[in-house]
């Protein structure tokens, strides 16, 4: 097994599996729903299963209607005239990232990713024949480290992977950071003689707190591929739909379209199911209630701080990071599990000594969880 996914597998095959099924556990482990889905979501899917023509369930690539839906959203958000032909629909953000890497990376190319990363970046870079190059973001701020990124660039750098709003820290990188990154990559691209791409992983772009705005590097850097999943905004990650796309400012966008489709086939038919695409125009308008997540954050983070935990205040996503009161975060998350609180050890996402809390837990789990966090902390201190 690859070293980078071994801690992930041992966590999910360990006590998580059993505890995850128990209703009295305060479950903050992963971004999974702990409550029933949005009724409008279920209604949209139900409607889309009613076949309206003979091709309803025929093989689907990127349906023109899906591409138009996505392009209209991106045009409205960025003010740039997005071309529907530049949208490739995928079965989730996972596949969007895999296909993007396979499209851009030649064997031996280096791909810079920021740590803490989403669990699978390193594995997906390796699977595409690339060499992962890790650049660290430091807790508790997890600021973008532009100098470190610039220092990591070499003649074989093909892409930099960026994820904002950032899992696991909840940071939303401001437009000024993105412009500075774009300038640094423009200079470096000229120096090494080929464009360095930004792979901008944006599944949390609509989960923003405190009235924050989301800026995408695609607005300032043409060589950007956006990867997106609907699994977060709809909190239905088992229904796999997402996309990858390039901005209308990219000069050679027509040239990579066929390669993207070829790589979708090569990735094992990385297209979304027919009925999810039929439902997409409806799904695009739906979202979980972000104000509920924000209220939950505002209840839980101050409560943890009051108890004596160091906890971050996320700007977006549904994650918060907290420092383990003992150096061994795995031992502390095991202790929390004995108190019937399930969280993700930071070691799994390359932040040892911390743990990640998912705000997708229900309000009841938050209320039940707070005294249990208190009890575990007292026990750890003893
Ligand atoms: C940063 C990031 N990228 C991509 C994904 C993949 O999303 P999906 O499972 O919906 O494909 C996730 C899911 O956790 C994520 O957090």
Note the pLDDT of residue 262.
98
Note the pLDDT of residue 10.
80
Residue minimizing CA distance to atom 2 of ligand 1: 118
Judge whether residue 2 has pLDDT over 80: no
93 alpha carbon – ligand 1 mean position (Å): 5
Would you say 340 and 26 are in contact if contact means Cβ atoms under 8 Å apart?
yes
378 alpha carbon – ligand 1 mean position (Å): 34
373 alpha carbon – ligand 1 mean position (Å): 27
Mean pLDDT of the chain: 96
- The arithmetic mean of pLDDT across residues 236-247, rounded, is 98
Question: Which residue among 121, 232, 319, 321 is best mutated to probe the pocket of ligand 1, counting the most ligand atoms within 8 A of its Cβ?
Answer: 232
pLDDT category, 280, cuts 50, 70, 90?
Answer: very high
Which atom of ligand 1 is closest in space to residue 229's alpha carbon? 10
**pTM score:** 0.97
d(CA 106, CA 369): 47
**CATH class, 52-283 region:** alpha beta
Question: Which residue among 137, 167, 172, 359 is best mutated to probe the pocket of ligand 1, counting the most ligand atoms within 8 A of its Cβ?
Answer: 167
Question: Which residue among 200, 202, 203 is best mutated to probe the pocket of ligand 1, counting the most ligand atoms within 8 A of its Cβ?
Answer: 203
Which residues, judged by CB distance below 6 Å to any ligand atom, belong to the binding site of ligand 1? 31, 92-94, 118, 163, 167, 201, 203, 229, 231, 237, 242
3-state secondary structure at position 153: coil
Note the pLDDT of residue 7.
75
87 alpha carbon – ligand 1 mean position (Å): 18
pLDDT category, 1, cuts 50, 70, 90?
Answer: low
DSSP string, 104-159: HPPTT-EEEEEESPPTTHHHHHHHTT-EEEEEE--TTT----HHHHHHH--TTEEE
From the DSSP assignment, how many helices (H) and strands (E) are in the chain? 13, 12
- The arithmetic mean of pLDDT across residues 162-178, rounded, is 98
236: CB partners within 8 A, 6+ apart: 33, 37, 41, 230
Judge whether residue 140 has pLDDT over 70: yes
Would you say 184 and 156 are in contact if contact means Cβ atoms under 8 Å apart?
no
Specify whether the backbone of 193 is left (phi greater than 0), alpha (psi in -120 to 50) or beta.
left
Which atom of ligand 1 is closest in space to residue 91's alpha carbon? 11
- For the chain, what are the domain ranges? 6-38+288-381, 52-283
Percentage with pLDDT > 90 across the chain = 94
pLDDT category, 17, cuts 50, 70, 90?
Answer: confident
- The arithmetic mean of pLDDT across residues 63-88, rounded, is 98
97 alpha carbon – ligand 1 mean position (Å): 9
pLDDT category, 11, cuts 50, 70, 90?
Answer: confident
Does 52-283 match 6-38+288-381 at the fold level?
no
45 alpha carbon – ligand 1 mean position (Å): 21
Phi, psi of 149 (to 5 degrees): -65, -45
d(CA 79, CA 84): 15
pLDDT in tens, 337-360: 999 999 999 999 999 999 999 999
292 alpha carbon – ligand 1 mean position (Å): 21
8: CB partners within 8 A, 6+ apart: 119, 348
pLDDT category, 4, cuts 50, 70, 90?
Answer: low
Residue minimizing CA distance to atom 10 of ligand 1: 231
- The arithmetic mean of pLDDT across residues 111-136, rounded, is 97
- The arithmetic mean of pLDDT across residues 265-292, rounded, is 97
Q: Which of 21-35, 54-68, 151-165 has the lowest mean pLDDT?
A: 21-35
CATH code 2.40.40.20 for 6-38+288-381? no
312 alpha carbon – ligand 1 mean position (Å): 21
């Amino acid at each position: 097994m690859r070293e980078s996914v071994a801690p992930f597998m041992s966590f999910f095959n360990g006590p998580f599996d059993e505890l995850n099924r128990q209703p009295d556990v305060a479950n903050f482990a992963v971004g999974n729903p702990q409550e029933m889905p949005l009724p409008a979501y279920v209604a949209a899917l139900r409607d889309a299963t009613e076949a309206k023509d003979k091709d309803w369930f025929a093989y689907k690539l990127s349906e023109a209607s899906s591409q138009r839906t996505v392009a209209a959203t991106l045009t409205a958000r960025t003010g740039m005239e997005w071309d529907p032909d530049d949208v490739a629909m995928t079965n989730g953000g996972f596949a969007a990232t895999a296909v993007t890497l396979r499209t851009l990376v030649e064997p031996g190319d280096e791909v810079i990713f920021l740590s803490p990363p989403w669990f699978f970046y390193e594995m997906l870079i390796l699977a595409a024949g690339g060499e992962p190059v890790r650049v660290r973001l430091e807790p508790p701020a997890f600021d973008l480290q532009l100098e470190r990124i610039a220092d990591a660039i070499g003649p074989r750098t093909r892409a930099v992977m960026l994820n904002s709003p950032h899992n696991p820290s909840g940071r939303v990188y401001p437009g000024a950071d993105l412009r500075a990154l774009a300038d640094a990559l423009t200079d470096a691209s000229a120096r090494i003689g080929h464009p360095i791409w930004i792979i901008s992983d944006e599944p949390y772009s609509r989960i923003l707190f405190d009235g924050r705005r989301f800026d995408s590097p695609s607005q300032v850097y043409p060589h950007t591929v956006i990867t997106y999943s609907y699994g977060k905004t709809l909190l239905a990650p088992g229904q796999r739909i997402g996309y990858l796309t390039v901005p209308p400012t990219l000069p050679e966008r027509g040239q990579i379209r066929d390669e993207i489709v070829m790589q979708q086939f090569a990735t094992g038919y990385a297209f979304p199911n027919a009925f999810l695409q039929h439902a997409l125009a409806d799904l695009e308008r739906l979202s979980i209630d972000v104000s509920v997540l924000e209220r939950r954050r505002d209840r839980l983070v101050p409560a943890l701080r009051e108890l004596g935990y160091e906890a971050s205040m996320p700007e977006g996503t549904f994650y918060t990071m907290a420092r383990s009161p003992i150096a061994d975060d795995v031992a502390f998350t095991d202790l929390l599990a004995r108190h019937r609180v399930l969280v993700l050890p930071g070691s799994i996402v390359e932040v040892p000594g911390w743990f990640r809390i998912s705000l997708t837990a229900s309000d009841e789990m938050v209320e039940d969880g707070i005294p249990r966090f208190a009890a575990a902390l007292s026990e750890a201190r003893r």
